[in-house]
């Protein structure tokens, strides 16, 4: 491998790129990783991590209110966006430091510059320097999609939302997916008036219809406004700084911030990939095989840029599998079945396996068990918010093929239950397990 400057050159220091770099270096490879923004990538810098901290911050609105029913004398509290924002951003800085240190400790060289591919074994840095490597790994992630219409430049995306100068009094969120529902919950708890605008009447496409319907119902009760089948005509910026949003067939709406949460597009353009023969699909994703290899033998790709499942733990697994396969003499592929996922809405949703609809299409015979209950804490708090747990089973074998939950701490509970679903356990195995009482999770072993 000594003919090349490096054994591995990674473009992008996000979840997938960092894992691949660290593990490859630990196997003894000479690794360089280029990053044009900040080490850590979307998840750490402007995604999962700061978002989850905002979710925690937002939930205090309910906790402080409920605390009074539990005997606490809570004075009227007010929320200060700048304090939370700055504390969250400071934590992002801390994690950015830890990720950088992790790469340093592993012996991977960090190059804080944009890199593009100029040959099957060659990259060029923004400074003009050319570098050769036996393997090149594309781990450049994805960026927010912004719908095309006049005035769209007045909106922001999840990249900017963590840095807002002040809390918007009124926010319009475009989209009905993960980011839209998570930020609708966050801003609603902070006291902003939230309007979610989606092009269809389906929120969280891909999730089980029962939990989606429950979230919509709870969100409406909490005061979040939804506009479905809505099409943007234009946005005008007014002299007072407010935004006037024109939707087809509706009265114009005045808001302070428009947040686009309309999907994410792989970062594959402007990297020189097609010039060297790396094929890109119609959605902009780098085409790869099960070993993460592109259509050029020496160039691989992992994470959101391949648009398989846009989730951090998947990018990490792909990065690990790449390093194990190429430098660890341990060929591995990622198993994409039964991947648990969660929406950190208020309340959160968590899900693993087939939805009821998918199971009915695929299996024919299906048995569904559900528990529709009010968490004990919500009962005492007088909070009329019901949780829903749903288990989808193969009608012939009793095997649990999917679990779908909405309610407090659903993601924390589902992670453990996902092990059972992945292991192919049956409903009987759940029934055989003694309930842990009193808990919300016990509903999973008491389903009728």
Phi, psi of 157 (to 5 degrees): -125, -175
The residue whose two tokens read 């960090």 is: 110
Give the one residue of 12, 16, 50, 175 binding ligand NDP; rule: CB under 6 A: 175
Sign of the dihedral through C-alpha 180, 185, 191, 197 = positive
Nearer to ligand NDP, 202 or 296 (CB): 202
For 304, the token pair is: 């959101």
**DSSP helix/strand/coil, 443:** helix
Q: Please check if 418 is assigned to a binding site.
A: no
Q: How far apart are alpha carbons 430 and 90 in whole angstroms?
A: 43
Which positions from 344 through 373 interact with ligand NDP, judged by CB under 6 A? Answer: 344
**DSSP helix/strand/coil, 167:** coil
The residue whose two tokens read 């360089």 is: 32
Nearer to ligand NDP, 24 or 140 (CB): 140
Beta strand extents in 75-224 (DSSP E only): 109-111, 115-119, 122-125, 130-138, 142-144, 170-174, 193-197
Q: Please check if 201 is assigned to a binding site.
A: no
CA distances from 444 to 221, 428, 431 (A): 26, 11, 8
Task: Show Cβ contacts of residue 326 under 8 Å, excluding neighbours closer than 6 positions.
Answer: 8, 24, 29, 135, 300
Based on the shown chain and the rule CB under 6 A, indicate whether residue 179 belongs to the binding site for ligand NDP. Answer: yes
Based on the shown chain and the rule CB under 6 A, indicate whether residue 200 belongs to the binding site for ligand NDP. Answer: yes
Based on the shown chain and the rule CB under 6 A, indicate whether residue 264 belongs to the binding site for ligand NDP. Answer: yes
Shortest distance (Å) from residue 14 CB to ligand NDP: 13
Q: Identify which range of 100-108, 261-269, 362-370, 440-448 contacts ligand NDP by CB under 6 A.
A: 261-269
Number of residues near ligand NDP (by CB under 6 A)? 23
DSSP letter at 434?
P
Q: Please check if 176 is assigned to a binding site.
A: yes
Nearer to ligand NDP, 17 or 155 (CB): 155
The residue from 143, 154, 193, 437 that is catalytic is 437
Shortest distance (Å) from residue 117 CB to ligand NDP: 25
437 is catalytic: yes
For 87, the token pair is: 């504390």
Site string for ligand NDP, 294-313 (x = CB under 6 A): ----------------xx--
Radius of gyration from C-alpha coordinates of the chain = 24
Shortest distance (Å) from residue 250 CB to ligand NDP: 15
Q: Please check if 179 is assigned to a binding site.
A: yes
Site string for ligand NDP, 134-173 (x = CB under 6 A): -------------x--------------------------
Nearer to ligand NDP, 105 or 200 (CB): 200
Nearer to ligand NDP, 145 or 386 (CB): 145
Give the one residue of 95, 202, 420, 445 binding ligand NDP; rule: CB under 6 A: 202
How would you class 153 by CB atoms within 10 Å of its CB: exposed for 0-12, middle for 13-18, buried for 19 or more?
exposed
For 42, the token pair is: 């979307």
Cβ(169)–Cβ(363) below 8 Å:
no
Shortest distance (Å) from residue 158 CB to ligand NDP: 7
Give the one residue of 88, 108, 180, 323 binding ligand NDP; rule: CB under 6 A: 180
Nearer to ligand NDP, 264 or 317 (CB): 264
For 320, the token pair is: 């690990």
Based on the shown chain and the rule CB under 6 A, indicate whether residue 205 belongs to the binding site for ligand NDP. Answer: yes
DSSP letter at 301?
E
Q: Please check if 180 is assigned to a binding site.
A: yes
For 238, the token pair is: 């007014």
For 99, the token pair is: 């990720």
Q: How far apart are alpha carbons 234 and 152 in whole angstroms?
A: 7
Q: Which residues, listed in sequence order, are joined to residue 402 by a DSSP beta bridge?
A: 353, 392
Q: Please check if 12 is assigned to a binding site.
A: no
For 179, the token pair is: 């980011």
Which positions from 328 through 347 interact with ligand NDP, judged by CB under 6 A? Answer: 341-344
CA 92 to chain centre: 16
Query: Which residue is nearest to ligand NDP, using beta carbons?
Result: 177
Based on the shown chain and the rule CB under 6 A, indicate whether residue 261 belongs to the binding site for ligand NDP. Answer: yes
Nearer to ligand NDP, 24 or 157 (CB): 157
Angle at 297 between CA 294 and CA 303, to 5 degrees: 30
* C-beta neighbour count of 275 within 10 angstroms: 11
* Chain contacts with ligand NDP (rule: CB under 6 A): 147, 175-180, 182, 198-200, 202, 205, 261-264, 310-311, 341-344
- Residue ranges for the known binding site for FAD are 52, 304
Active site positions, annotated: 437
Going by the annotation, the residues of the binding site are: 52, 175-182, 263, 304
């Amino acid at each position: 491998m000594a003919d090349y400057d490096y054994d591995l050159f990674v473009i992008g220091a996000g979840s997938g790129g960092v894992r691949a770099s660290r593990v490859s270096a630990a196997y003894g490879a000479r690794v360089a990783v280029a990053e044009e923004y900040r080490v850590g990538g979307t998840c750490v810098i402007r995604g999962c991590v700061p978002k989850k901290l905002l979710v925690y911050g937002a939930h205090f609105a309910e906790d402080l209110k409920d605390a009074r029913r539990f005997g606490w004398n809570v004075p009227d509290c007010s929320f200060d966006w700048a304090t939370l924002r700055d504390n969250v951003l400071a934590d992002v800085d801390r994690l950015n430091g830890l990720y950088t240190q992790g790469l340093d400790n592993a012996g991977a060289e960090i190059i804080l510059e944009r890199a593009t591919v100029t040959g099957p074994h060659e990259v060029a840095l923004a400074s003009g320097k050319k570098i050769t490597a036996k393997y090149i790994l594309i781990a450049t992630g994805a960026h927010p999609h912004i719908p095309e219409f006049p005035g769209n430049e007045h909106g922001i995306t999840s990249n900017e939302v963590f840095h807002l100068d002040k809390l918007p009094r009124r926010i319009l969120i475009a989209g009905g997916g993960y980011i839209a529902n998570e930020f609708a919950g966050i801003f609603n708890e902070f006291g902003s008036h939230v309007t979610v605008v989606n092009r269809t009447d389906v929120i969280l496409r891909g999730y089980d219809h029962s939990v989606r319907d429950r979230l919509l119902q709870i969100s409406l009760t909490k005061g979040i406004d939804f506009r479905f089948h809505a099409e943007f005509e234009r946005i005008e910026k007014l002299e007072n700084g407010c935004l006037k949003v024109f939707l087809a067939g509706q009265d114009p709406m005045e808001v302070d911030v428009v947040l686009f949460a309309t999907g994410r597009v792989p970062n594959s353009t402007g990297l020189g990939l097609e010039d060297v023969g790396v094929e890109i699909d119609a959605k902009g994703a780098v085409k790869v095989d099960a070993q993460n290899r592109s259509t050029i033998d020496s160039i691989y790709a992992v994470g959101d840029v391949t648009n398989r499942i846009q989730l951090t733990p998947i990018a990490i697994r792909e990065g690990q599998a790449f390093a194990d396969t190429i430098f660890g003499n341990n060929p591995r592929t990622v198993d994409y079945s039964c991947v648990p996922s969660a929406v950190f809405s208020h309340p959160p949703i968590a899900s693993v396996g087939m939805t009821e609809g998918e199971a009915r299409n695929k299996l024919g015979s299906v048995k569904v068990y559900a528990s529709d209950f009010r968490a004990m804490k919500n009962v005492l708090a007088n909070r009329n918010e019901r949780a829903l747990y749903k288990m989808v089973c193969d009608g012939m074998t009793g095997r649990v093929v999917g679990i779908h939950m909405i309610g407090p701490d659903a993601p924390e509970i589902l992670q453990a239950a996902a092990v059972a679903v992945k292991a192919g356990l049956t409903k009987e195995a759940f029934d055989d397990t003694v309930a842990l009482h009193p808990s919300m999770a016990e509903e999973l072993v008491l389903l009728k």
